[in-house]
Amino acid sequence: MAVRSLLLTHLDVDPKTSRAADLEPAEVGIVGDPAHRGGYHCGSDRVVTNDYSVVESSRDRTGLTLDAAALDVGGFEVRSGGRTHTLASFSAWCMGQCAANAADTRDIREIIYSPDGKTVKRWDRLGKRTTGDDSHRWHTHFSFFRDAIKAGRDQRPLFRRYLSSIGLLEDDMTPEEHKWLATIHKNLTVLDGRNPIGQVYLRLAEGRDDTGAPVTGHPNLKSLGLQLTALQTALSSLSGRDFTDEPAIVRGVLAGLTPEKIAAAIPPTMAKQVVDELARRLAA
């Protein structure tokens, strides 16, 4: 019923007038008429022996209730985003999402549709069938696994995505989803300990567990901060030091020189001073 209401809200362009181009209420059906027996349009009071909508899947057997589990969508034609959208393009889009196993399609058992108003095709998640009767040339049938209907799961997300993709629905979130998003945003932006997420953040920052006891064995924001402070102090201390080791440089140079090269490198004005100094050191 929620999917039916969603589609009519956006595809019944002129709800006050019945027009061929619009999707009219009489074109979106769920429960089969009194003569209908068997299939997903019927609940437990009207299924038949070996009904395919019950026996072929454990999801249907365990989910069988008085509720119908199918939706028929009739023809429409709407202009949006500079393009014309019809039942055929809508059906092909939904089938493509199911074939890709999109998360919001996994409660859909089958889609019976026509891509051109002539040929009838069937996408079946269980791979049992590939076609349907000629009535599906002008309407598209969706079957939902019965356990999804029994559980009351919202089946609108796929159809909201379609309406959003063609530009008829700018915001495809429900009020409940808006409320959920607002809560998440609040929790992620208030990290000062006034809510549970903020308290977790503070415990991680201070290196405490949920009892308040210190956590050892792995870094936390507090320990990393102390390490950074110590590193900055060490770098500041080293930045003022002269790391040039002149004696080591002299030793390295002399190790590669012969006495002749050393003598040749001494200026004549210093030669006598060097000889006298060497004589003094040898005498000592």
The alpha carbon of residue 98 and the mean position of all alpha carbons in its chain are separated, in whole angstroms, by 18
CA distance 115 to 128: 20
Would you place residue 181 in the very low, low, confident or very high pLDDT band (cuts 50, 70, 90)? Answer: low
The alpha carbon of residue 111 and the mean position of all alpha carbons in its chain are separated, in whole angstroms, by 26
Name the residue among 94, 138, 133, 100 with its Cα closest to residue 116. Answer: 138
The Cα angle at residue 216 between residues 215 and 217, in degrees rounded to 5: 135
Res 191: pLDDT: 53
**CA atoms within 13 Å, Cβ hemisphere of 284:** 6
CA distance 20 to 26: 12
For residues 88 and 117, the answer to whether their CB atoms sit within 8 Å is yes
Q: Strand 139-144 vs strand 70-74: parallel, antiparallel, or unpaired?
A: antiparallel
| Max intra-chain CA distance, the chain | 132
State the first-to-last Cα distance of the chain, in angstroms, to the nearest integer: 113
Residue pLDDT, tens place only, 46-70: 999 999 999 999 999 999 999 999 9
Residue pLDDT, tens place only, 200-229: 656 666 666 666 677 766 677 777 778 788
Which residue has tokens 């002749």?
Answer: 260
Looking at every residue in the chain, the average pLDDT score rounds to 86
49-to-42, 54, 55, 62 alpha-carbon distances in Å: 13, 9, 9, 16
pTM of the model: 0.62
Mean pLDDT for 77-102 is 96
DSSP string, 130-172: S---GGGGSEEEEEE-HHHHHHT---HHHHHHHHHHTTS-S--
Would you place residue 184 in the very low, low, confident or very high pLDDT band (cuts 50, 70, 90)? Answer: low
Is 5 a residue whose pLDDT tops 90? yes
Q: Does 211 or 193 have the greater pLDDT score?
A: 211
Strand partners, 208: 214
Backbone Cα Rg of the chain: 41
Q: Does 185 or 232 have the greater pLDDT score?
A: 232
CA distance 219 to 196: 22
For the CA atoms of 177, 179, 184, 186, what is the dihedral angle to 10 degrees?
Answer: 160
Per DSSP, 40 falls in state: T
The alpha carbon of residue 71 and the mean position of all alpha carbons in its chain are separated, in whole angstroms, by 29
Is 155 a residue whose pLDDT tops 90? yes
